């Protein structure tokens, strides 16, 4: 299965989902559905968020794992929150 893109690769605007399908029964739903905020993040930002969650939100531990100072971790987290 492919990763969902949150932004258009041509113009950079937010994408929407227009079709959902159930793998089990084949039910097909059409409409306009929001993808969600996390899909707007880059793959690097998603990895950072996963590391942050894995470390239970402890920025010091995230910094240790990524080899970055606490201030860099906090700044990156702020950038992601504002994205």
Q: Which helix (H) or strand (E) holds 30?
A: strand 28-33
Rounded Cα distance between 26 and 24, Å, is 6
pLDDT tens profile 16-50: 889 999 999 999 999 998 887 887 788 899 999 99
CB proximity list for 35: less than 8 A, separation 6 or greater: 4, 6, 14, 15, 16, 17
pTM of this prediction exceeds 0.75: no
Report which of 34, 54, 33, 46 is spatially closest to residue 3, judged by C-alpha positions: 46
Most confident of 18-22, 51-55, 78-82: 51-55
Residue with the larger pLDDT of the pair 8 and 3:
8
**Which pLDDT value is given to residue 1?**
65
């Amino acid at each position: 299965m492919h990763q969902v893109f949150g932004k258009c690769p041509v113009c950079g605007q937010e994408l929407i989902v227009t079709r959902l399908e159930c793998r089990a029964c084949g039910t097909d739903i059409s409409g306009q559905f929001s993808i969600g905020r996390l899909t707007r993040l880059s793959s690097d930002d998603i990895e950072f968020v996963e590391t942050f969650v894995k470390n239970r939100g402890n920025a010091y531990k995230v910094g240790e794992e990524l080899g970055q100072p606490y201030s860099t971790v906090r700044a990156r987290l702020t950038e992601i929150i504002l994205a």
